[in-house]
Structures are given as C-alpha cells and as structure tokens.
C-alpha cells in the first residue's frame, strides 16, 4: 500500500536571485514497511527531499501526500501536530537534549502526547533494551559514546510508534561496528513493528542493508528499485 506519494515535487532556493533546484520535479511513492535508502553524491538533493517528506521544509511547488492526506498546504501548527503523531526523525548530529538522561530523552515525545506514565516507562525501557543501551538509561548524552547516543536517538524516534522514521545520514559520525549494530537494530525494529524507514545517505553500509535504493542526482531521481536492480 502506498503511504507516501510525491507529485511534481520541487524545491527551489534563491528563486529571485540565483535559483538552485535542490529537488526538481520528483514524482514517486513509498509503501508501508519499506526500509529504503535515498542515495547520491553530496548536493544531489537527498536531504532536501527527505526534509520535504517530513514537512520540515515546504515545497516550492508540487504535492506530498502522506496516508492520503496532503501535507503541502498544511499550516505550520497543523504540520507540527502531524509530525508529532506520525513521523520520527533521526539526525546525523543526534540532537539529544543535553540536560536530560537517555530515559528522559526517549520519554519526551510520549509525554508530549500525554501517554500514561506506566506506558511510558514500559515503552522507554523496552526500546532502550532493544537498542542495547538499557543500562545507560540514567546517563546524559555527554556520558555516552557517539554510537550509544545514536541508539538513544533511534529509540526516541520509535517511542510513540510513528508510522515513519526519516533518518538523515544517521551513520555519518559512527565507526563500522557502531554502524552495523545500529542498522541491524533498526532493521529488526522495522520488521517487528512494521515502521516505514527511509534514510538519506551516501554510506555504502546503509545501502547494503536497504531493500530499495532511490538514487538521486541534480535534484532528480535517476534510478529507483531493489539494490540488485537499481
């Protein structure tokens, strides 16, 4: 079932001076439960494309439909609420809140959603344990390694059981062992919970785990398919 559909999607920066077509007329779709990598060289538009899907940026023109709901015309407050209930984000820089423990960082989204404390506790510890950092629950980000921080960030993204995880270069700051561990954990959660996970990456290790590759260049999709056929 198609859960994300883009049609003639464009993002143009500096339209009145020196236009930069970061995303240039993309029409594509993603199905529920995908584990997909958007790939291509630096500057090809993959991060912008991911940000458009997540509603972090507004398109210059074109449409994005998520779960049958067009997000392109949503007001900022409506998009914030939509993201809160449907989309989890994982960033290259982790973006954990420094003054909060690992537990508190993961619990934060669920608290915004007013989930019962008992449910929050069970879910947070389930995820931290699944990510291999359950014993780090009461440590703050500065006390964790980069790989541990990124595992906490993934747990946070999964906490509210979103339909989608959008991960922007999540392995860029990790060594090979931490990358393999993180990707295996994300793949396991994808299979267990059916969460649609879409990466933007130029990391061959992520590409090797993906079930589908969407290759971009100059703001356009140039190849699209399974890794052995893309």
| Averaged pLDDT score across all residues of the chain | 92
Give 74-86 pLDDT, tens digit per residue.
888 999 999 988 9
Q: What is the rounded end-to-end Cα distance, in angstroms, of the chain? A: 21
Tokens of 144: 């964790």
Please indicate, yes or no, if residue 216 is contained in any of the structural domains.
Answer: yes
**Residue carrying the six token digits 């914030």:** 80
The alpha-helical segments, DSSP class H, found in 1-60 are 46-53
100 part of a folded domain: yes
Please report whether residue 34 resides in a domain.
Answer: yes
Q: 6 pLDDT band (50/70/90 cuts)?
A: very high
7: domain CATH number is 3.40.50.300
Write down the pLDDT at residue 228. Answer: 64
Give pLDDT tens digits for 194-223.
899 999 998 999 999 999 999 999 999 999
> pLDDT > 70: what percent of the chain?
99
What backbone phi and psi angles, to 5 degrees, belong to 73?
-110, 10
Domain count for the chain, please give it: 1
Give, in order, the Cα–Cα distances in Å from 10 to each of 23, 203, 223.
Answer: 5, 25, 18
Question: Can you give the pLDDT at residue 225?
Answer: 85
Provide the pairing of β-strand 61-66 with 20-31. unpaired
- Residue 62, token pair as written in the block: 């074109």
Domain span holding position 35: 2-225
Residue 169 counted as domain residue? yes
For residue 26, pLDDT beyond 90: yes
- For residue 73, the model assigns a pLDDT of 84
User: Residue 196: inside a domain, yes or no?
Assistant: yes
Q: What's the pLDDT tens digit per position in 89-108?
A: 998 888 899 999 999 999 99
User: Does the structure show a pLDDT above 60 at 62?
Assistant: yes
Q: Note whether residue 230 is domain-resident.
A: no
User: Whole-structure pTM over 0.85, yes or no?
Assistant: yes
Does position 134 have pLDDT exceeding 80, yes or no? yes
pLDDT of residue 214: 96
- Is the separation of the CB atoms in 24 and 10 below 8 Å? yes
Six-digit token string for 202: 């130029």
Angle between helices 146-158 and 176-193 (to 10 degrees): 10
């Amino acid at each position: 079932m198609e859960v994300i559909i883009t049609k003639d999607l464009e993002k143009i920066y500096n339209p009145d001076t020196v236009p930069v077509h970061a995303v240039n007329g993309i029409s594509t779709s993603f199905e529920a439960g995908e584990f997909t990598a958007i790939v291509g060289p630096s500057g090809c538009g993959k991060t912008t494309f991911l940000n458009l899907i997540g509603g972090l940026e507004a398109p210059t023109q074109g449409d994005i439909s998520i779960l049958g709901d067009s997000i392109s015309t949503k007001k900022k407050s409506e998009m914030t609420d939509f993201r809160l209930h449907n989309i989890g984000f994982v960033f290259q820089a982790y973006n954990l809140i420094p003054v909060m423990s690992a537990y508190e960082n993961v619990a934060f989204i669920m608290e915004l959603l007013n989930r019962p404390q008992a449910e929050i506790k069970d879910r947070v510890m389930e995820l931290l344990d699944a990510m291999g950092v359950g014993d780090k629950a009461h440590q703050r980000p500065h006390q964790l390694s980069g790989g541990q921080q990124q595992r906490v960030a993934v747990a946070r993204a999964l906490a509210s059981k979103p339909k989608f995880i959008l991960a922007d270069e999540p392995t860029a700051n990790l060594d090979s062992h931490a990358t393999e561990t993180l990707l295996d954990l994300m793949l396991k959660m994808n299979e267990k919970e059916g969460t649609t996970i879409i990466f933007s990456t130029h990391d061959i290790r992520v590409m090797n785990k993906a079930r589908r590759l969407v290759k971009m260049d100059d703001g356009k999709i140039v190849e699209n398919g399974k890794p052995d056929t893309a």
